[in-house]
Amino acid sequence: MKSKIYVPIVVAIAVIAAGASYASPYWTVYEMKSAIDARDAAAFSAYVDFPSVRESMKGQVLGKFQEKMANARNGSNGFAAFGAMLGMGIVNQVIDTMVTPDGVMAIMSSGTAAPDKREPAALPSSPASPETTSPSGSSEASQDAKAKYDIGYQSWSTVIASARNGDSSAVRLVFKREGIWSWKLSGIDFSELHL
């Protein structure tokens, strides 16, 4: 009799655990967005594998850079080889400077790896200052600055969150599973962006 009672309980626990595991990347992105809104770099950093993100970005930037240099060489530009050597030496330093908690928070918040071209007055307000409101009373700064996310599984251990801000191309955030419920940002794919 007791075994008949335990079977539904075990099945219910298994279904809840599977549902929680499936929903865990959504929760991770929510927690990261909350840390961005609170400007809590320490909480945000707990969800980021910075060495993996750096390697991901360096590989992409170097690949694009080499492609452009190859095109320049084909155009018989005598300085292309010198430019390639100089540029590749700088790329590592630029990426190391960019992939910091504040830098990754800015990329994730804006949905782009490109610099923000808006006027300083249109940037999101700090917690101490009031937000800019439009005549209709809505907050322009918060609407313009925040990226929207589409999250989807690529495999059991990889999830892609596409961050898009308005009509701009999406930055794809690559999350890798750590354990059953934990995820870490391990790469930023900006192949859709024109760098």
- Read off the tokens for 117: 């071209």
Q: Phi first, then psi: what are they for 180, rounded to 5°?
A: -90, -40
The mean per-residue pLDDT over the stretch 17-38 comes to 90
* Between 172 and 126, residue with greater pLDDT: 172
Lowest mean pLDDT: which of 34-43, 120-129, 144-153?
A: 120-129
Highest mean pLDDT among 38-42, 77-81, 106-110: 38-42
Amino acid 110: pLDDT:
76
pTM over 0.75: no
The mean per-residue pLDDT over the stretch 46-75 comes to 81
* d(C-alpha 46, C-alpha 41), whole Å: 9
Lowest mean pLDDT: which of 50-54, 102-106, 141-145, 150-154?
A: 141-145
* d(C-alpha 88, C-alpha 90), whole Å: 5
Q: Tell whether the model's pLDDT for residue 83 goes beyond 90.
A: no
Query: Where do the domains of the chain lie?
Result: 2-117+147-189
For residue 109, give every residue at least 6 positions away whose Cβ sits within 8 Å of its Cβ, in sequence order, or none.
33, 36, 145, 146, 147
Q: Tell whether the model's pLDDT for residue 53 goes beyond 90.
A: yes
Q: Phi first, then psi: what are they for 176, rounded to 5°?
A: -115, 140
- Read off the tokens for 38: 């609170």
Amino acid 67: pLDDT:
76
For residue 5, give every residue at least 6 positions away whose Cβ sits within 8 Å of its Cβ, in sequence order, or none.
none
Q: Tell whether the model's pLDDT for residue 7 goes beyond 60.
A: yes
Contact (Cβ atoms closer than 8 angstroms) between residue 159 and residue 23: no
* d(C-alpha 6, C-alpha 3), whole Å: 5
Q: Tell whether the model's pLDDT for residue 51 goes beyond 70.
A: yes
Amino acid 95: pLDDT:
85
Q: Tell whether the model's pLDDT for residue 137 goes beyond 60.
A: no
